[in-house]
Structure 1
């Protein structure tokens, strides 16, 4: 995507400003709609991983231009997928693949990740098959995911009432219907 920017220069001591020709700026803009199935976190994580890899590759091909991504991630802010986006990394074995998106009832230990010792103990609880690891990470031997984008939620820059935001600054709901109310849609 190309964006035109108008630049203005103001002369010192004068009230007039002169406008120069628009400056073009390129952006990578991507949108994704991740699988809904709450039990298939492995597939969701794989979709997000591939999406981020491709956005980063395009950014590099165009000279490390900025990246804006958005979409319906079908994942809650308390989820491992959200953690992967914000922290740029995720240790897969610390999470139950069925609940990577947080759509199933989040266990208390997943809502607020506690100490490193608890994380290590939890890694022994969750078993991933080779196929699940291949779907999520692209390789059954890979359990630590990383991406090279520095992502920040656009919602954090928008003023809003504390009553309508969670502890991370995300809105309490971007989707509301008879069976669900919560945040699953994001702009980064």
Structure 2
């Protein structure tokens, strides 16, 4: 039986007040989990509500490409991009639209990965850094999720030699399993450490950061709060509560301290630990630190280790409110037969004017975003995917200003 015709979801542009800056670089960013065809087929029970005619790749691909072209973003972060479809269809189609494409497939024998694409006319690639979360022999980091971090420079920058006129863009798809918040936090620590390394400027400050992707975590969950506040006190926190995907998770296992192994080389501030090689470059400083260490210092270090706290130094903010005006209904970014919630984000470092004595401070100003919808709106269009929307996720789109 043919599917009853439905209208596309109604999404409107929400403009935000902005400061005038004639020298600014304005650009748009989209993040979109496009639903790998193999994963769709492997999890067919999630799509029983769909008319079978809207599920084949031959039907979905033109819709997905048309959506990307319609929104015309300067930077696009895609997740669940199947490698064969990427190489044979998606990449050539996007290159024909003027995009440059970077891609990282998941490890193991997984068929899909993450892509960061950007308009070559507007931005230039300075570096592309694929990240694998899998660590051989590490019982916690035994999953095949990946990330991709790129450094981009605006082409029309008024000061091409300005080292802070960069944008660090990170894209990831964290582990889905709602009961493994420990794995998600360890994966995030690796990603944040790499972002910190790549975004650090010569004066010690950081260039603007965009962190996009499917985090398989809900707004105001402990993982989301960690991202947006820079700190998580996790003493007594159940592993199944970290992501907020389940209201009453099965199992009572608590996060242990430390969450990840010291052997990972990442400290509790989600930064790479100095290597012996880099430490030896200033032996007097190291020797001085050791000789001045008191019993009280050692005790304080031990207490800090027991405090069960992780931090990161990025001042990240979400480009969405996560609730719809005027009544606070939850926004959703994904919906299938099992769930409807927000798990996709465009996070950014906002423009903060620092005191004159501090370096850096350049960030991004949010100019607007494409509105999201609530669960009832999706149900009215036969759920996701449907004849107009060919993924079980919705694309997020935001516009930013990089000041000069």
Could you list the structure 1 runs, at least 4 aligned residues long, displaced by more than 3 angstroms after superposition: 125-130, 137-142, 163-166
For 1:104 and 1:68, how far apart are their aligned partners in 2? 27
Tell me the equivalent position of 1:69: 211
Distance verdict in 2 for CA 1:177–1:145, change over 3 Å: same
Structure 1: tracts of 5 or more residues without a match = 7-21, 108-124
Is the contact made by 2:232 and 2:311 (CA closer than 8 Å) also made in structure 1?
yes
Normalising by structure 1, we get a TM-score of 0.67
Tell me the equivalent position of 1:134: 260
> Structure 1, residues 87-141: CA drift from partner, whole Å, max 9, x if none?
100011142112200011169xxxxxxxxxxxxxxxxx974346x7226x96794
Tell me the equivalent position of 1:96: 238
Is the contact made by 2:236 and 2:255 (CA closer than 8 Å) also made in structure 1?
no
For 1:52 and 1:139, how far apart are their aligned partners in 2? 11
For 1:75 and 1:164, how far apart are their aligned partners in 2? 23
Size of the aligned set, in residue pairs, is 149
What is the CA distance between 1:23 and its match in structure 2? 4.2
Give the root-mean-square deviation of aligned CA atoms: 3.2
Distance verdict in 2 for CA 1:174–1:127, change over 3 Å: closer
Distance verdict in 2 for CA 1:129–1:87, change over 3 Å: closer
For 1:178 and 1:65, how far apart are their aligned partners in 2? 41
Is the contact made by 2:237 and 2:255 (CA closer than 8 Å) also made in structure 1?
no
**343, 351, 361: which one pairs with 1:184?**
343
Is the contact made by 1:94 and 1:126 (CA closer than 8 Å) also made in structure 2?
no
What is the CA distance between 1:60 and its match in structure 2? 0.7
Tell me the equivalent position of 2:75: none
For 1:67 and 1:181, how far apart are their aligned partners in 2? 28
Distance verdict in 2 for CA 1:126–1:38, change over 3 Å: closer
For 1:98 and 1:69, how far apart are their aligned partners in 2? 24
More helix by share: 1
Normalising by structure 2, we get a TM-score of 0.33
For 2:327 and 2:219, how far apart are their aligned partners in 1? 14
Is the contact made by 1:4 and 1:23 (CA closer than 8 Å) also made in structure 2?
no
The question of 1:162 aligning with 2:325 is answered yes
1:50 is paired with a residue of what secondary structure?
helix
Distance verdict in 2 for CA 1:66–1:104, change over 3 Å: same
2:225 is paired with a residue of what secondary structure?
helix
Q: How does 1:31-110 map to 2 (within 5 A)?
A: 31-61=171-201, 64-105=206-247
For 2:169 and 2:237, how far apart are their aligned partners in 1? 29
- Kindly name which structure, 1 or 2, has the bigger radius of gyration based on alpha carbons: 2
For 1:4 and 1:145, how far apart are their aligned partners in 2? 37
